[in-house]
């Protein structure tokens, strides 16, 4: 029943069809350019991106009335995605993908208003 409703949902969209394939291709192209992926990595990452995008759409649709369950399911999906990426990408590619890590915040001064 849910799958049939999802097909109707996608069929009613103006662009028609399942948009996750195009999104997965665009995301993989972007990651290929940024991370300098080899051919094998591109193929494997495209599959993982397609799975993540499709499941994200399914989760958002299925749990739209229960935000707590949606957050939990999306968190589990993100964990799966991160573990798959760590199998596909090199450590340097992973660090590029995750972006700059936050540095420690500057110490807060005990003085208020510049007086001190």
23, 53 Cβ separation under 8 angstroms: yes
- Tens digits of residue pLDDT in 79-109: 999 999 999 999 999 999 988 755 555 555 5
- Report residue 71 as tokens: 């957050």
Structural domain for 93, as ranges? 2-97
Task: Please indicate, yes or no, if residue 31 is contained in any of the structural domains.
Answer: yes
Return the higher-pLDDT residue of 66 and 7.
66
- Report residue 98 as tokens: 């995750």
- Tens digits of residue pLDDT in 17-41: 567 899 999 999 999 999 999 999 9
Task: Please indicate, yes or no, if residue 113 is contained in any of the structural domains.
Answer: no
Task: Please indicate, yes or no, if residue 32 is contained in any of the structural domains.
Answer: yes
- Tens digits of residue pLDDT in 39-70: 999 999 999 999 999 999 999 999 999 999 99
94, 86 Cβ separation under 8 angstroms: yes
Alpha helices in 36-98 (DSSP H): 39-62, 67-88, 91-98
25, 46 Cβ separation under 8 angstroms: yes
Task: Please indicate, yes or no, if residue 106 is contained in any of the structural domains.
Answer: no
- Report residue 36 as tokens: 């300098």
- Report residue 13 as tokens: 């969209």
């Amino acid at each position: 029943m849910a799958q049939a409703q999802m097909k109707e949902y996608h069929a009613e969209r103006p662009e028609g069809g399942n948009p996750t394939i195009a999104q997965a291709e665009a995301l993989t192209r972007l990651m290929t350019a940024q991370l300098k992926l080899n051919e094998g990595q591109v193929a494997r990452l495209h599959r993982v991106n397609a799975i993540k995008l499709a499941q994200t759409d399914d989760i958002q649709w299925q749990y739209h009335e229960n935000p707590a369950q949606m957050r939990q399911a999306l968190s589990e999906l993100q964990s799966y995605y991160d573990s798959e990426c760590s199998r596909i990408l090199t450590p340097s590619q992973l660090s590029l993908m995750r972006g700059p890590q936050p540095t420690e915040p500057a110490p807060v001064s005990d003085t208020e208003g510049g007086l001190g």
